[in-house]
A and B are shown apart, each in its own frame.
Chain A
Amino acid sequence: DAGVIQSPRHEVTEMGQEVTLRCKPISGHDYLFWYRQTMMRGLELLIYFNNNVPIDDSGMPEDRFSAKMPNASFSTLKIQPSEPRDSAVYFCASSLRRYGYTFGSGTRLTVV
């Protein structure tokens, strides 16, 4: 199994631009999570899905953030418009029945 696959690994964008982060979970996993990691705030849960349905998006910072999971093998996290304070490492994780998350390698986002 290739694990959780995220793309791109690195993204540098200008303030105001739209950013789309992508995630392919492990086949057969029914939960998908989006986390953000910064030095100041650590790992923060943004949103999670169960069987492609968003369950809790209370961690999404504001309306500029949106996430979708159109099918069991793909999810996106979109930021529009991006701001410098969105700079962070964004992780996607998947799990089977909630336990034992497997994380992807993350996308390092820099907004200048």
Chain B
Amino acid sequence: GESVGLHLPTLSVQEGDNSIINCAYSNSASDYFIWYKQESGKGPQFIIDIRSNMDKRQGQRVTVLLNKTVKHLSLQIAATQPGDSAVYFCAEESNFGNEKLTFGTGTRLTIIP
């Protein structure tokens, strides 16, 4: 079946540096992708999304890149701050009669002061 996977389960980054979190997806029919951030004891929080007709989208300090050729998604966080420490999930959705988001296993990002 389809699955969403992450290349790295943990990532440690120096404060102020840029972070890149990667995600591979296997369902070529997926046309909508979201990145979520989950802090300890809280529910996942929407960060940024991208549709399959785009290859890049920018938000405040975050950029999502989508490479449909290799089915790869990445989240770039600029100038990381201590508050960025969390688990980050990518999620995908197919438009073909399936309204469900499928979540990856998550990457834990730790910011080193």
Contacts and interface: CB of A to CB of B under 8 A. Distances in A.
Interface string A77-112: 000000000000001010000111111111000000
Interface in A42-84: 42-43, 45, 48, 50, 55-56
A76 B15 CA distance: 42
B101 A101 contact: yes
B49 interface: yes
A103 B89 CA distance: 13
B2 interface: no
Contact of A103 (B32, B44, B104, B106): B44
Contact of B49 (A33, A99, A106): A99
B59 interface: no
Interface residues of A, number: 21
A101 B89 CA distance: 13
Q: Classify chain B: how many residues form its interface, as a range.
A: 20 to 34
Given A43-B89, A99-B32, A99-B49, A105 B100 contact: no
A90 to B, nearest CB: 10
A4 B89 CA distance: 19
Contacts of A99: 32, 49
Closest 9 CB pairs of A and B: A103-B43, A43-B103, A42-B105, A103-B44, A98-B99, A106-B43, A91-B43, A105-B43, A45-B100
Contacts of A104: 43
A76 to B, nearest CB: 18
Contacts of B61: none
Given A45-B101, A101-B101, A106-B43, 12 more contacts: A33-B101, A42-B105, A43-B89, A45-B102, A48-B100, A93-B43, A99-B49, A101-B34, A103-B36, A103-B43, A105-B42, A106-B42
B45 interface: yes
Interface in B6-63: 32, 34, 36, 41-46, 49
